Structure 1
Amino acid sequence: MEFQEVVKKRYACKSFDGTLVDQKQLDIILEAGRLAPTAKNLQEQRIYVVQSQEGLNKIDKVTPCRYGAATVIIVAFDKHHVFTYPGEKRDSGIEDATIVATHMMLAAHSVGVDSCWVNFFDPEIVAKEFALPDNEEVLMILDLGYASEGTKPLANHELRKALSETVTYL
Structure 2
Amino acid sequence: MEFSDVINKRYSVRGYLDKEVEKEKLDYVLEAATIAPTGVNNQPFNVYVIDTKKNKDQLSEVYGAEWFVEAPLVLCVTAKKDEAWVRPWDGHNIYEIDATIVMDHIILAATDVGLGTCYIGAFKEDKARELLAIEDENEVPVLFTPLGYGNAEPRDTPRKAIDEFVTYI
TM over 0.5: yes
Q: Is the 8 A contact 1:20 1:51 kept in 2?
A: no
With the length of structure 2 as denominator, give the TM-score of the two structures. 0.92
Residue 69 in 1 paired to residue 68 in 2? no
Residue 59 in 1 paired to residue 59 in 2? yes
Q: 1:97 aligns with which of 79, 96, 99?
A: 99
Q: Distance in 1 between matches of 2:92 and 2:124?
A: 21
Unaligned runs of 5+ in 1: none
Q: Distance in 2 between matches of 1:59 and 1:100?
A: 21
Residue equivalent to 1:155: 156
Residue equivalent to 1:107: 109
Segment of structure 1 superposing worse, 139-148 or 62-71: 62-71
Residue equivalent to 1:118: 120
Residue equivalent to 1:85: 87
How many pairs are equivalent?
A: 166
Residue equivalent to 2:17: 17
Unaligned runs of 5+ in 2: none
What amino acid sits opposite 2:161 in the alignment? A
Residue equivalent to 2:7: 7
Residue 146 in 1 paired to residue 145 in 2? no
Greater share of residues in helix? 2
Kindly state the Cα deviation for residue 39 of structure 1 after the two structures are TM-superposed.
Answer: 0.3
Q: Percent identity?
A: 33
Equivalences for residues 10-49 of structure 1 within 5 A: 10-49=10-49
The SS at the match of 1:142 is: strand
Tell me how large the CA RMSD over aligned residues is: 1.4
Q: 1:137 aligns with which of 136, 140, 144?
A: 140
Segment of structure 1 superposing worse, 49-58 or 102-111: 49-58
Structure-2 change in CA distance of 1:165 and 1:142 (3 Å): same
Segment of structure 1 superposing worse, 49-58 or 23-32: 49-58
What amino acid sits opposite 2:74 in the alignment? V
Structure-2 change in CA distance of 1:154 and 1:52 (3 Å): closer
The SS at the match of 1:98 is: helix
